[in-house]
Amino acid sequence: MRFIHFARRALLTTVAATTLVAAGSAPALAVSAVPDKAPLFNGSVYAIAYRGSTVYVGGSFTSVAWGGRNYPRARLAAFDARSGAMLAWSPTANSTVRALAISGSAVYAGGDFTKVSGSSRDNLARIDAASGAVGSFSHRVSGVPYALAAGNGRLYAGGSFTAVDGSTRRNAAAFSLSSGALDGGWRPSADDSVHALAVTSARVYLGGAFHKVNGVSRTLRIAAVGPSGGAVDRGFLPTAPAQVNGLATDSAGVYAATGGQGGRAIAYGSGGGMRWQRVFDGDAVAIASLGGTIYVGGHFDRACTTVHNGAHGACSDGSVARVKLAAISSGGALTGWAPQANGIIGVRTLAVDRNRGALGAGGDFTTIGGQNRKRYASFD
């Protein structure tokens, strides 16, 4: 991911009219602040995906430690969600895996790689979820996918690319989940990179560094497009104050994690109106919704008590410690959940395991609450 820090003078009129819910009493937390035991990764974790009782992880790591043993795992790994025990699943990617998506018996991976388990795959691959075998799904991607999402019979990809199989695709593309073919009808055009995707039956949400999608005004860094044709949904036309690094949805609306002069977690209604926002002293990179609580991860160390911050994102009107991880109630109140991950980069990705009611976090941290949790943690 790329994180951009810049002043946002145009945001001032927006935040002046926005009410920030003050920290106070919070509802029951959806997950514990104490992380479960988990495998230890020797390199960054960029992506997490769940399928049944299995956790799939992608990143830049080459080895995973569990139970006193080191397992060679070249940027892809799988383990049991409950026990943490490593599974035999071990396809190998020759460079960083930045995104994962699950559909049926397939694990889709996107990133910087050119080979998976010795087979040529241009930054995108389909892998059998049980055996780890590389499928026939193969496309030429002129650039790098940063985000993948499966739904509506399609695999959606967002990133920094210009074409797929020689056909123009400006930072967004879709593929048939049944045939694997490039979807000729879904082709929204973003004028800069797409870093995040969220899919519903009615919309595909895009987030990133772009200024416009399909040339439509008020699609600055966040937009909704149709799931089959890719036309901009003009019923959702908010703007984001800075690059959108993560997206999540639930029945209440859409959530964005942004960078900029301090990061923000922003809740939008289905019509695009801002419901609330929380401000941090560093980039918000990942966001997830579980059980009515919104979880945020990123580079930050503190959560601001108002929407005001100053140079380098420092909170202007008070703050509370929230080191790389925070949780927000459905109404926008900061909760007491504060696991405290270490490191500069901190958290890169969050994923929800709805079967267990658990939250997974990945990134560059090596401890959570002082406990040894190298680059992956799970909270039940």
Does residue 16 carry a pLDDT above 60?
A: no
What is the average per-residue pLDDT within 162-172?
98
pLDDT of residue 7: 34
- Distance, in Å, from the CA atom of 221 to the CA atom of 242, rounded to the nearest integer, reads 7
pLDDT of residue 67: 96
pLDDT range class, residue 29, cuts 50, 70, 90: low
pLDDT digits (tens, 9 = 90+) for 313-328: 899 999 999 999 999 9
- Judge if pTM exceeds 0.75: yes
Q: Which CATH architecture has domain 92-377?
A: 7 Propeller (2.130)
Beta carbons within 10 angstroms of residue 261's beta carbon: 22
pLDDT of residue 311: 80
Does residue 24 carry a pLDDT above 60?
A: no
303/28: higher pLDDT = 303
Does residue 90 carry a pLDDT above 60?
A: yes
